[in-house]
Structure 1
Amino acid sequence: MIRILKWLRGSLPFAVFGGMLLAACSKKESSDTLVKFDPSKPVTISRFTPDSGGVGTQMLIYGSNFGSDRNLVKVFINGKPAPVIGVKDTIMYVLVPSRAGEGKLTLQIGKEGDAKEVVAAGDFKYLFNQSVGTLAGFTDKDGKTAIVDGEIAKAQFEEPYWLTFDQHKNIYMLEEYRGMRFIDSARTYVKTMFRTGNGLDRPRTLAFNPTWDTLYVTNDQWDDRGLSTAVLTPATGFTKWNALILSKTTNGGDANPITGDFFFNSYSKGEMFKWDRQSRSTKFMYRVDDVDWEFNIQFAPSGDFAYIVVVNKSYILRTRFNKETGTLEAPVHFVGGRGQHDYRDGIGVDARFNHPHQGTFDKDNNFYVADAENHCIRKISPEGVVSTFAGRPRERGYADGPLRKAQFNLPRGIVYDDATATFYVADQVNRRIRTISVE
């Protein structure tokens, strides 16, 4: 297998090679083919490539006695932990972490307290990078596209809409009115998990519970007896859904990342509900403000608070999670002008948005929201300071490059990978998944 992989390394593009390595490393192998790390033998590094790059750069490490158990392997670049994507005895696939700097590559293999450590010859040079790029998707000369699975360079999308990670940083993505897609953690291939139909016709949001064994999918429809929220589980590989909640006009929901409590809305009456897992029933909490309120709910990583992004009124509320009662308290107006669809950076209610959609948090609780009809990404500090992060406000288009020179066209979804300091954006009308790498 290793000889084949080495030969392929010189014959295939890096992304394709990395995907084949990941597939080889993640297969369920029988005990007689699994290569085990031998603690009685030395671990060596013969070389690594490339020797420079920015955050998220795909790196291959060659050597001996790596084993095949990714859980026993740790890689550090200048002291910064690098995500290990795959390992296969004499070759390893990792991603360069954010702000790695210039220094040595260190490999640790073995159990805690008894791991072997080896330092590679030569230094890795970190290259700072601040730019918008394209991960996947394209249109033909007439601007047309389709739903195409397979190798990421050939994959296509029709309505990329909402994004979320699992614990391995695989991406699950909704396509509006189409279904759910999947992008592997090595970013080498795309596949369709399910298509819409049978009552799940307009999936709106995705949310994993804290143990990653339940994926909630909210569904927007107009029947009190119709499907409001479906769930998917690892038992079917997250490909088959089961009905969970029947309700009216739900267009947003999220699970508290600490407690697992699931909250969802009703558009027609502007209501907030909690799903009671014990009684398997819904609990009404409050009305947000008025009827016909399209909003989604997005928890901070701490679970202490959530933002309610009011899409069709272009402002954002903040609500505190009460740990004693397990409920979201009545929200307060945080940023943006209610019903004022416009563009303006500023503080609190003086700022303006135009149909903001999904947002994501960094480690400092800054909130980055896809400001869809302003065609840009906005940043909201915990104090309510709103600034433009990426894109050209009010200028739709498609262009990679520096943050404020790049262009989007109706960006809807966004998630952030802190390990690689990379944002992923569902750029709906451009039919692409974009990346934002920022130092």
Structure 2
Amino acid sequence: MNGLFKFSFMFAFVAAIFLACADNDIAEERHVVYPPDANKESKFVSFSPDSGGVGTQLIIKGENLGTDTSYLRVTVNDKKAAIIGVRNDYIYAVVPARADTGLVKLYVGKGDNVKEFVSDVEFRYKYKRNVSTIAGQNGNASRDDGEYDVATFQRPWALFHDSDDVIYEIDEGRGTDKNGALRKLYEGLVETLVQNSSGPFQSPTAAAFNLEEDTIYMVHLFANECTSKAGLVGISRASGFVDVKPLVRMDDPKFTGVAVNPVTGDVIFNNQSDGYLYRYVANANIDIAYERLIQVNNATNTELKLAFSNDGKYLYAAVKNRHCIFRMPYDITTKTLGESELWAGQWDTSGYQNGIGTSALFDTPSAIEFDEDGNLYVADKYNHCIRKIAPDGEVTLYAGMPRTSGYKDGLPDVAMFNCPEGLTILSDQSIIVADRENHVIRKVVVE
């Protein structure tokens, strides 16, 4: 009898017992909420199944557990497992995403009176690993709205999302001839919201939501084809994300990155022309609605993609055209940046190499974003892969075949990308990738 069958059988068996007892005292017990009996000893006897992936339903057998879930907590490898049911001697919990293999722990009690129970054996976590195409048609560079499998994209190169996991995508383009666009992916449909025009929306490069998610802050790259010098614009949710208002103007605004501090809501952007990072100052005169901060590595001509750490205390900058990643401390009180330090990769040295910090090599690292555990993910454009940087600075391959462009779904170590440039991480920690030269949107799941 294999593990899955045994689990299904046991779950069905327990459910059958519950149903069979519908008219007796046990059935009433299920509907009465009560804590463990303080005069009796609680016990953790066993758990099943012994292996599985995210969403696996664990059955924990014990004694004197009560029915009040506020007195109970379950973890798998120290990651919290949601409790979906309890009946004195049984707890039903769901294995969390990316729990990894580890011991199952049960905590019974409240406040200072909590007792910890630890399993004798480990739960063996089975990872899901897959790269798939969620929208677009490989090799078809055009702009058609509609269902995911019929929609098309034109050089997708930036992604971001809101707290409801609605995905927003930017098609690269310059000027006023509608060859760039802000688009929305939600519930199986792709919708174009704004296309390049003679107004302030002419050359979108990156975007981020404010903390309230009622405004998109978007940066633009001024070029010969453009007439507007609005480097930073605001797009309101109230308008359906179609009303674009200029917020910051400069003579030569080559803005390439923008990030919103997750604690303070401060908006930070850069200008490639002078190499400086700036903080947007709302409600100021439109021509001076910013404060100049620092240059990354004291250099000009730095094409940046930006991301704040989850606690808002550090700003990270992928320097695309210099092939490395810097970080800077951010003082949330004074709203200032400290000195930039090289964190991963090497200045002006491209290539592919894994390793710790500056021993690693990138080739045009583009969009960067943190997951809930503090790992930083990088769209490594001309290495044609997605890289992962752990909090200690260790750089590893996450998906794709390094230095090999192409198009292929499947397991992450055999999947192929062609110049992945944008990425964003959804609430389930899956990574959505703007696969620029394949003109599609991909999804990477590596638990």
Q: CA deviation at 1:360?
A: 1.5
> For the residues of structure 1 that align with 2:190 and 2:54, how far apart are their CA atoms?
22
Change (3 A) 1:100 1:380: closer
Change (3 A) 1:421 1:285: closer
Q: CA deviation at 1:97?
A: 7.2
Whichever residue aligns with residue 389 of structure 2, its letter is: I
Query: 155, 179, 185: which is aligned to 2:151?
Result: 155
Structure 2 residue 199 is the aligned partner of structure 1 residue 196:
no
> For the residues of structure 2 that align with 1:292 and 1:194, how far apart are their CA atoms?
29
- RMSD over aligned Cα atoms: 2.6
Moved over 6 A (4+): 53-57
Where 2:169 maps in the other structure, the secondary structure is strand
> For the residues of structure 1 that align with 2:145 and 2:230, how far apart are their CA atoms?
27
The alignment-based identity, stated in percent, is 34
Q: CA deviation at 1:164?
A: 0.6
Q: CA deviation at 1:200?
A: 2.4
Q: CA deviation at 1:435?
A: 0.6
Query: 278, 284, 295: which is aligned to 1:279?
Result: 284
Q: CA deviation at 1:224?
A: 11
**Conserved 8 A contact 2:130-2:444:** yes
Query: 225, 241, 245: which is aligned to 1:242?
Result: 245
Deviations 1:6-54 (A, max 9, x none): xxxxxxxxxxxxxxxxxxxxxxxxxxxxxxxxxxxx9xxxxxxxxxx97
Where 2:333 maps in the other structure, the secondary structure is coil
Whichever residue aligns with residue 291 of structure 2, its letter is: K
Counting only pairs closer than 5 Å after superposition, residues 374-385 of structure 1 correspond to structure 2 as: 374-385=383-394
Whichever residue aligns with residue 146 of structure 1, its letter is: S
> For the residues of structure 2 that align with 1:244 and 1:215, how far apart are their CA atoms?
12
> For the residues of structure 2 that align with 1:210 and 1:431, how far apart are their CA atoms?
30
Counting only pairs closer than 5 Å after superposition, residues 17-416 of structure 1 correspond to structure 2 as: 80=82, 98=97, 128-139=127-138, 143-177=139-173, 178-184=180-186, 186=187, 188-198=188-198, 199-222=200-223, 226-247=229-250, 248-280=253-285, 281-288=289-296, 289-416=298-425
Q: Which residue of 2 aligns with 1:66?
A: none
Where 1:349 maps in the other structure, the secondary structure is helix
Q: CA deviation at 1:99?
A: 5.9
> For the residues of structure 2 that align with 1:320 and 1:400, how far apart are their CA atoms?
38
TM-score by length of 1: 0.69
> For the residues of structure 2 that align with 1:389 and 1:234, how far apart are their CA atoms?
34
Gaps of 5+ in 2: 1-30, 32-51, 57-79, 85-94, 101-124, 174-179
Q: CA deviation at 1:279?
A: 3.0
Number of matched residues? 325
Gaps of 5+ in 1: 1-41, 43-52, 58-77, 83-95, 102-125
> For the residues of structure 2 that align with 1:312 and 1:220, how far apart are their CA atoms?
15
Q: CA deviation at 1:387?
A: 0.8
Q: CA deviation at 1:338?
A: 0.3
Where 1:429 maps in the other structure, the secondary structure is helix
Q: Which residue of 2 aligns with 1:421?
A: 429
Whichever residue aligns with residue 236 of structure 2, its letter is: T
Q: CA deviation at 1:323?
A: 1.7
